[in-house]
Amino acid sequence: MNGLKTIAMDSQNGNGGFNINVNCPGNFIAQSMTFTAPIYISGDMQHGGFSEEQIKAALEAVVGQDKVINRQWKWAGAYWYLRWACNYPVDIKEFCEKIDAMQLDIASHLKCQYESIRKICKMSFMDYDPKKMDQVKYSRLEADVFAECRGVVQKLAEELGKTYLPKE
pLDDT of residue 12: 44
Q: Which of these, 80, 86, 5, 101, lies nearest to 50 by C-alpha position?
A: 86
Q: What is the pLDDT of residues 51-80, one digit of tens each?
A: 899 999 999 999 999 999 999 999 999 999
Distance (Å, rounded) from C-alpha 163 to C-alpha 8? 30
Q: Tell me the pTM.
A: 0.70
Predicted pLDDT at 33: 63
Is residue 154 within 8 Å of 136, Cβ to Cβ?
A: no
